[in-house]
Structure 1
Amino acid sequence: MAESPNFQTEMRRLLRDRMLDAARDVVCAEGWGAVNMSRVAKTVGISRPVLYKEIGTKQDLADALIARETDEFLTGIATTLVDYPDDPAGGMTAAAEYALRTGADNPLLKAVLSGRNESDTTLLPALISDPDPILGRAVRALTAVAREQYRLPGLDDDELTSTIEILVRLALSHLFQPTGSIERAVTQIGSVLRSLLEDAV
């Protein structure tokens, strides 16, 4: 009897998660420079051809790892916004605080930013300069969530997208290059958001 497509899809998803978990564990313990496809395949218990078929290149592995981590952040941010149903500035400020505090405790982010050696910087361009998967992904997702939850009739789509991009850029800047406490960063972000959203509701 043939396996159902849903079962096959679920098995591939679980296998992909195991691959990403294996890579993440190595990054957190030894840095991105210690990650190689043979090691990941051996840890998962599969062949390298299977790993390449499911993931692609090592850069594809990095992109997939970052995308999954970003999605987990975005899920937490969306949940935070729900607690502020009638306060867009308050909700978005709380979302920024969530991102900063969660990021500060994130083992993968700590490992990448610690710069154990030069080869570890491979992940940094994708994290801080490539428009995707973090900046673009976050702006698209949070713009949709903000529009659905707050409506914000005073902002057209371009204006809302710009506002969310400012929020995301500020949060990423404080996350990757902190110059003070998280409380100080949240205060700064909140002040900017209140100004931007003053006439949006």
Structure 2
Amino acid sequence: MTSANEVESESIRDRILDAAESCVLELGYDARLHARIAERSGFSRPTVYKYVGDQAAIVEALFQREVNKFFVVLDAVLRDEHSNLEIRFVDAIVFTVQYARNHEVLQKGLRDHPELVLPWFTVRSGPIVALTSGLMTPHFERLFTPDELSTVDPKAISEWAFRIISSLIVTQGVIETPDEDSLRDFVRSLLRIAFMAPPHT
């Protein structure tokens, strides 16, 4: 059971991060944020440090909070009981990439400070891969028969989804996918390639 002090601490932290998000969007990731966050949140600078930490910790906390919010939304997409495995897989990828492309804080970071954001999709991606697997694996497990589960690892499918998604978010390609329809067609083509029969030798 959550105590009153924990609820209050969470409320303070949320107010600080709300202020931090607006400051980052206005001033950038590398601005001196603590004084502006304190002013905007109504808390003192020592309180900002206490609940969020230094500049790097603020950016990390914002990113982690946005990831957690996103997974709540994605869970509803994955619960569509009327979709088969392929449709649900494609829907999850397309939804996630479109969500990321329209996310102001993420896009500002990728555009202005990729050195701060890209590690979350590359060398520091472990926690997000784990979150992705934890969320998506149970959904995929329900779509497989016991026989299929003996040969297919839903965790591997979840990680594969993350790798496709992260690539589509942070890298440019020769095939353009500027809208949802073109993105969906591209992801479907990737699946067709993945499940092509091997050539005869």
TM-score range, shorter chain: 0.7 to 0.9
Structure 2: which amino acid aligns with 1:112? G
Cα contact 2:109–2:117 (8 A) shared by 1:
yes
**Matched residue, 1:135:** 129
Q: Structure 1 residue 35: deviation in Å?
A: 4.7
2:101 matches 1:104: yes
**1:140-183: per-residue Cα shift (whole Å, max 9, x none)?**
32224433x43553235982212111111111111222431143
Counterpart pick for 1:61 among 46, 58, 62 = 58
**Matched residue, 2:199:** none
- Counterpart CA distance in 2 for 1:159 and 1:195 is 19
- Counterpart CA distance in 2 for 1:152 and 1:164 is 17
Q: Structure 1 residue 67: deviation in Å?
A: 1.1
Structure 2: which amino acid aligns with 1:42? E
**1:79-134: per-residue Cα shift (whole Å, max 9, x none)?**
1111245512211211111112211211112211222xxxx345224432212443
**Matched residue, 1:174:** 168
Deviates more, 1:128-137 or 1:103-112: 128-137
Cα contact 1:100–1:171 (8 A) shared by 2:
yes
- Counterpart CA distance in 2 for 1:192 and 1:84 is 24
Q: Structure 1 residue 13: deviation in Å?
A: 1.2
Pick the structure with more helix per residue: 1
Counterpart pick for 1:82 among 76, 79, 84 = 79
**1:10-52: per-residue Cα shift (whole Å, max 9, x none)?**
2211111111111111222232112522322232122222222
Counterpart pick for 2:68 among 39, 54, 71 = 71
Unaligned residue ranges in structure 2 (runs of 5+): 197-201
TM-score (norm 1): 0.79
- Counterpart CA distance in 2 for 1:133 and 1:60 is 16
Between the aligned residues of both structures, percent identity stands at 22
Cα contact 1:84–1:91 (8 A) shared by 2:
no
Q: Larger relative contact order (C-alpha < 8 A, sep ≥ 6)?
A: 1
Deviates more, 1:74-83 or 1:133-142: 133-142
2:44 matches 1:44: no
Cα contact 1:26–1:35 (8 A) shared by 2:
no
Distance 1:79 1:139, change over 3 A: same
Distance 1:122 1:42, change over 3 A: farther
Aligned Cα RMSD in Å? 2.8
Distance 1:134 1:14, change over 3 A: same
Deviates more, 1:24-33 or 1:175-184: 175-184
**Matched residue, 1:14:** 11
Q: Give every structure 1 segment of 4 or more consecutive aligned residues whose post-TM-superposition deviation is greater than 4 Å.
A: 191-198
Distance 1:28 1:10, change over 3 A: same
Counterpart pick for 1:188 among 170, 186, 191 = 186
Unaligned residue ranges in structure 1 (runs of 5+): none
Cα contact 1:85–1:150 (8 A) shared by 2:
no
Cα contact 1:38–1:48 (8 A) shared by 2:
yes
